[in-house]
Amino acid sequence: MIEGWRLQQRARFLNEAGTIRPRLRLVRRFAEFTNQYPWQWTPAEAEAFMEELRSSNDTFSVSSARTYQAALRMFCEYVTDARYGWPQRCWEMFEASPAQIFHEWNSVVHCAEFEGDPRRRPLTYDEVQALFDAADGQVEEIQAQHRKGALAAMRDSAVLKTVYAFGLRRQEACCLDLADLRRNPRAADFGRFGAMFVRFGKASRGSPPKRRTVLAVPEFDWIVEVLEHYLQEVRPAFSPKRHPALWITERCSRLSRRRLDEAFEAARARAGLPKELDLHCLRHSYITHLVEFGYPELFVQQQAGHSYASTTAIYTGVSDEYRNRLVERALKARFADLWEEQP
C-alpha cells in the first residue's frame, strides 16, 4: 500500500524529499502507534494519535496538526479508492476493508488565513538597522582580534542585507548565481544590480520552481554598494574559480540554507532581538515596507512572487504611524478647506 501511494505521488511529480518521504514516514509512524494494519484503522485511533502528539509536544501547532491529518486522509483516500483494488483485496483476504479515519468532526477546521506564531512579525526599521549593525559589528570584532572568519562574516552580512533588499526566501537566496544579477534599463544607476532573477521560487503541487524578476527599488539603493563590495573584495578571496554561485563558502561550495539561518540567528542574538523572529521575517519586513513606501499592491505582489493578493496581505503588518498618515491624508483630501485655515 505504501509503495503504491508513493508511486501515485511520484506520478504527480511531487517532491520526493520534501513531500513524499515525510508523508510515508508519518503513515509508518501512525501504523506503529496503532499496532494495526490500515484495514483495521478507525477514527478512534486517529483521534488518539492526535491527542498523543498534542500531549507530548507543547509546540505542536494547529498548522502541523492539519498537515498530519491531511497526509493520513490522503493515504486513506488512496487505499479506499476502488480503482486501486485495495478494498476488494482486503475483504477477500481479511474480511475487512480500509476506511477513511478523518472526517469533518475530528479534523482541524481552517478558520483563519494565518495560523502561524503571532510573535513572528515584520521587523521595524530600527530592528532591521540593529540587525545589520550587529552583522557588521561581528566583522569588525573578528578583524580586531585577528581571528579567522572575517570573510565569512562579511558574506553573511551581505547575504542578510540582500534577503531584505529583494524580499527573498531562504531557498531563493541560496540558489542565486552570478548570472542572476540583471541590469534594469529604467534604473541605470543601479548598474548590474537593477534586478534579481529568481529561478528557484517556491513550487506548488508538483510544479517546477516558479521564476520571477525582482526589481531593485530606490529605497533600497544602498544594496548596490553592499553587493559591489562583496563581488569585488569578498567573493574573490574565497577562490571560487568557476563556481557559478553568488554566495560561496570557505570550501568553495554553495551557501546552505542552514548556514544562512545560523547567520541570521547570530546577528539576531548580537542585536538583542526576540528569538521568535527568524530569517523569513526579513521577507515579511520587505513586503510591509514596500507597502508603507506607497508602492501599488499589484507591484508588491509581483515583487514577492505571490499568486494571490490575499497571500501578500498576510505578510503585511504596517505600523501605526503608517496608518495614521493614511488617515491624515484622507482627512486633508476630504476637508481641504478647513485644513488650510488651521494655523
DSSP state of 307: S
Last residue of some domain: 245, 279, 313? 279
Across 137-202, the runs of DSSP E, i.e. the strands, are 181-182, 195-198
Same domain for 264 and 207, yes or no, is yes
Same domain for 132 and 84, yes or no, is no
What confidence category does residue 179 fall into, taking pLDDT thresholds of 50, 70 and 90? very high
CATH number at residue 135: 1.10.443.10
- Tell whether 149 is covered by a domain: yes
- Tell whether 205 is covered by a domain: yes
Residues of 68-90 as b/e, b for ≥16 C-beta within 10 angstroms?
Answer: bbebbbebbebbbeeeeebbeeb
- Tell whether 71 is covered by a domain: yes
Same domain for 85 and 9, yes or no, is yes
For the full predicted model, state whether its pTM sits above 0.85. Answer: no
What confidence category does residue 116 fall into, taking pLDDT thresholds of 50, 70 and 90? low
Last residue of some domain: 37, 71, 94? 94
Nearest to 113 by CA among 62, 50, 59: 62
Q: For residues 253 and 74, give the distance between their C-alpha atoms in angstroms, rounded to a whole number.
A: 38
Give Cα separations from 84 to 5, 36, 94, 320 (angstroms).
10, 21, 17, 56
Q: For residues 241 and 255, give the distance between their C-alpha atoms in angstroms, rounded to a whole number.
A: 15
Residues of 267-291 as b/e, b for ≥16 C-beta within 10 angstroms?
Answer: bbebbebeeebebbbbbbbbbbbbb
- Tell whether 69 is covered by a domain: yes
Number of domains the chain contains: 2
What confidence category does residue 312 fall into, taking pLDDT thresholds of 50, 70 and 90? confident
Residue whose C-alpha cell reads 508538483 in the numeric block: 206
Last residue of some domain: 94, 114, 145? 94
| pLDDT at res. 277 | 93
- Tell whether 72 is covered by a domain: yes
Same domain for 79 and 218, yes or no, is no
Domain housing 262: 125-279
